[in-house]
């Protein structure tokens, strides 16, 4: 019997503390093959949780979040959403 393990997207969520010039931010990183897509969002104090803010952002783009894991101060979100329709890959980046 062969195990059927589903291929999932892994999106890292990292908190960036404030600097002298910028406020707190949330960085989303998705590494694929030899490239990486990144998005940096201003921290939303109304939400008050960087992981929840990242989940809401990704869901607004049509990316379904199935689970998460915390590793060394970062959260990794797992998704099974790859495309809309037959060919449109869903990127994490703003278009």
Q: What is the number of structural domains in the chain?
A: 1
Tell me, yes or no, whether 73 lies in a domain. Answer: yes
Q: Which residues of 34-64 are buried (b: 16+ CB within 10 A; e: fewer)?
A: eeeeebebebeeeeeebbebbbebbeeeebe
**CA gap 41, 19 in Å, rounded:** 15
Tell me, yes or no, whether 53 lies in a domain. Answer: yes
Tell me, yes or no, whether 94 lies in a domain. Answer: no
pLDDT in tens, 9-36: 899 999 999 999 999 999 999 887 777 8
Tell me, yes or no, whether 85 lies in a domain. Answer: yes
pLDDT in tens, 50-85: 999 999 999 998 889 999 999 988 999 999 877 666
pTM of the model: 0.84
Q: Which structural domain range is residue 71 located in?
A: 9-89
Residue 47 token pair:
């939400």
Tell me, yes or no, whether 4 lies in a domain. Answer: no
Tell me, yes or no, whether 25 lies in a domain. Answer: yes
Tell me, yes or no, whether 34 lies in a domain. Answer: yes
Tell me, yes or no, whether 3 lies in a domain. Answer: no
Contact yes or no for 75/51 (Cβ under 8 A): yes
């Amino acid at each position: 019997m062969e195990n059927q393990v589903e291929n999932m997207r892994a999106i890292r969520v990292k908190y960036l503390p404030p600097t002298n010039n910028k406020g707190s931010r949330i960085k989303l990183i998705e590494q694929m093959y030899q490239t990486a897509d990144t998005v940096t969002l201003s921290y939303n104090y109304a939400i008050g949780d960087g992981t929840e803010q990242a989940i809401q952002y990704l869901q607004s783009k049509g990316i379904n979040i199935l689970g998460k894991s915390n590793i060394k101060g970062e959260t990794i979100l797992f998704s099974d959403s790859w495309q809309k329709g037959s060919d449109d890959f869903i990127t994490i980046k703003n278009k």
